[in-house]
Amino acid sequence: MDHISPITHLTEDESMFKEMVSEFAEEQIKPYVMEMDEKAQFRKDILQQFFELGLMGIEIPEEYGGTGSSFFMSILAVEALAKVDASAAIYVDVQNTLVNNAVKRWGSEELKKKYLPQLAQEKLGAYALSEASSGSDAFSLKTRAEKKGDHYVLNGTKLWITNGAEADIFIIFANLDPEKGYKGITAFIVERDFEGFSVGKKENKLGIRASSTTELILENCIVPAENVLGEEGKGYKVAIETLNEGRIGIGAQMLGIMEGAIEAASQYAHERVQFGKPIVNFQAIQFQIAEAATYLEASRTLVYNAARMKDAGMTFLKEAAMAKWFASVHAEKVTSRMLEIFGGYGYTKEYPAEKYYRDCKIGQIYEGTSNMQLQTIAKYLLFRK
């Protein structure tokens, strides 16, 4: 019997859930993966099935229409989907680890009653922090909010917003008082049909192409006063703490990508014959797969540990940053090496190796670049009082 790490060991319920998502991905998503990638368009019927399966409201309490499960279950779903298609995984990831988590934790009871059932059952959400001048320097954002009686007026442009093309509910960050710096930043829930809100251009990307990435345009956008998420001036806190959870979701995406790449390369190594025998018999190939599998297992330990710490109510800032950094950096190494096992075929779209390679690169960029993760880890280790 294989040795099982206590951290990566799954309970019976967790194992059954992950297997259910895996089967769904293999049967309902895999046949359309390359078509969706080439067209840069995710199928609406698959998105609808995410809601029907309860994958869009995993942590939302049952009283609000969700399944009332754990953060760890969300991570398992993201991992299982990413093994087949990282684009599919990001829809479920953003919905659960960013949007739902933010509303559940920071929303008033009125906002929870209004939006959580919609997010669990029918409407896609998006998280809008980034701007042209505020990437890693997230709190230098230029989007402004102005209080006018019973509503706020928002003006600005958001960039690189995942799920932007399909989402109906957006968490948008704007500065209510620029003189206060980051302490003026406030989070708002904005609906797609609010006056003054529109979705701009869709980006043409290297990887996760079926996942939409767009700009958002706010031109005197009217937002009801009750749609403030958290408190005025506390948007920076909403952003930091929510992204900390989201980083674990990115780590889970990288797990699925690595697992899919290793499985594809292993299968090909058994089929490809050179010098009179399958290339899997060559020690060089064996060592490459063994090394990749070790990177995967180490990454899984970090990601699962951070997720279980979150569910246990423990502080997990350092662990989330480590998980995202390690998994994303090694996903690039693993997918590159697995692509090489395919030789020339790996560079073509006839096999999935090139897509795993393209899809993994974003893991080192969104929700905090690799350098930002290292900075977070270093600050925690060296300057924490």
Active centre residues (catalytic): 367
Taking Cα atoms as reference points, which of 381, 376, 248, 380 lies closest to residue 324?
A: 248
* Tokens 């499985």, located at residue: 263
Taking Cα atoms as reference points, which of 226, 145, 127, 228 lies closest to residue 184?
A: 145
What's the rounded Cα separation, in Å, for the pair 31 and 36? Answer: 10
In sequence order, what are the residues at sequence separation of 6 or more whose Cβ sits closer than 8 angstroms to the Cβ of residue 208? 86, 87, 90, 359, 362
Query: Is the Cα torsion angle 78, 82, 83, 87 positive or negative in sign?
Result: positive
Query: Is the Cα torsion angle 137, 143, 144, 148 positive or negative in sign?
Result: negative
What's the rounded Cα separation, in Å, for the pair 72 and 69? Answer: 8
Residue 200: both structure tokens together: 């701009």
Taking Cα atoms as reference points, which of 296, 298, 364, 378 lies closest to residue 325?
A: 364
Alpha helix segments (H runs only) across the chain:
12-24, 33-39, 44-52, 71-84, 86-93, 101-106, 109-121, 235-271, 283-311, 317-341, 353-360, 370-383
DSSP state for residue 100 in the 8-state scheme = I
What's the rounded Cα separation, in Å, for the pair 300 and 113? Answer: 35
What's the rounded Cα separation, in Å, for the pair 178 and 85? Answer: 41
In sequence order, what are the residues at sequence separation of 6 or more whose Cβ sits closer than 8 angstroms to the Cβ of residue 343? 272
What's the rounded Cα separation, in Å, for the pair 173 and 182? Answer: 11
